[in-house]
Amino acid sequence: MARSQRLEALLDGLTQVQANPYSEEAIVHLRTTLKSRYAIAVLRAAQLVASAELSVLLPELTAAFDRFMIAPVETDPNCLAKEAIADALYRLNAGTEEVFLRGIRHIQMEPVWGGRVDTAAKLRGICALGLVRMNYPGVMTELADLLADPEVPARIAAARAIAYSENGAGVPLLRLRARIGDDPTVVAECLIALLKLAPTQSFPFIVSFLDAPNPQLQELTALALGDSRLPAAFEPLRRWWCHTTEPELRQTALLAIALLRQEAALEFLLALIAHEPPVVAKGAIAALQIYRDTPPLWQQVEAAVLQRGDRALIEMLR
């Protein structure tokens, strides 16, 4: 059978066993596929194993990962099969320490137009979660290294894994990464992790980033504070809105305040609708759109708009 025919047969078989992946026939086909050299077929098989929670196939997953670590650029371009395997092992709560350690340290440079690129950043992030979930004793050392990774997605994954660990030992790592500076998305992820691990201790530090020189970081900090729903976040966000002149940042501030879903925040936004110039009132209504699916709250927005009687504002309720 030609290579394309063998691959097609494996993929067709995976489609057929999706309806009942627990059958003996399905297990046999999944095992055969995981032993194959076709990365795309192994990827799909690993995804099915993960969704069906087929722990019986853990040995085949581990063996497949090891196989694709040999000449990885040729056997598994873009790390897609290894990513799917690592994700399946993570979701199955497998104690595959060796796989996760190899994965979190793996760098796969592949040729692209004008140079080479590392395609293993996502794999390193998945393996970080795997090490956290299995309570690997040296996980914080691995996450510290990942937080200094050359690739932005890997550093973001490191911050998320530290938050997932619920380990206070990660707090200094996150603060250091944020303090020395990084891509705004990385710093914001560190702040989000700090809000989960040590919200009270870290609160003043996080609020300070509302005054960061980078507008994107200001926005991401505001949204992180809003998503936290911490009562203490309202006043800093209100002050930030008051002294910010950039229209986009002011709108982000109003959205962050709305995200708090607190009585004081709602009263503030309703007061803007009732008393501020139309452009400000429109911003408040836009921010409060997140309440549309919460009738008791949205009814208060509607009442404030109707009481003001401005036709343009009323149109925003439609």
Q: What is the DSSP track for 17-65?
A: HTT-TTSHHHHHHHHHHHTSS-HHHHHHHHHHHHHHT-GGGHHHHHHHH
Q: Is 237 helix (H, G, I), strand (E, B) or coil?
A: helix
Residue 277 lies in a domain: no
Residue 157 lies in a domain: no
Residue 171 lies in a domain: no
Residue 154 lies in a domain: no
Nearest to 234 by CA among 250, 222, 220: 222
Residue 187 lies in a domain: no
- pLDDT per residue as tens digits for the range 245-296: 999 999 999 999 999 999 999 999 999 999 999 999 999 999 999 999 999 9
Residue 151 lies in a domain: no
Polymer length of the chain: 318
Domain that holds residue 87: 1-96+119-133
Confidence (pLDDT) at 246: 96
Q: How many domains does the chain have?
A: 1
Does the structure show a pLDDT above 90 at 3? Answer: no
Q: Is 94 helix (H, G, I), strand (E, B) or coil?
A: coil
Write the DSSP symbol of residue 136: -
Residue 2 lies in a domain: yes
Residue 47 lies in a domain: yes
- pLDDT per residue as tens digits for the range 196-230: 999 999 999 999 999 999 999 999 999 999 999 99
Mean pLDDT, residues 79-93: 98
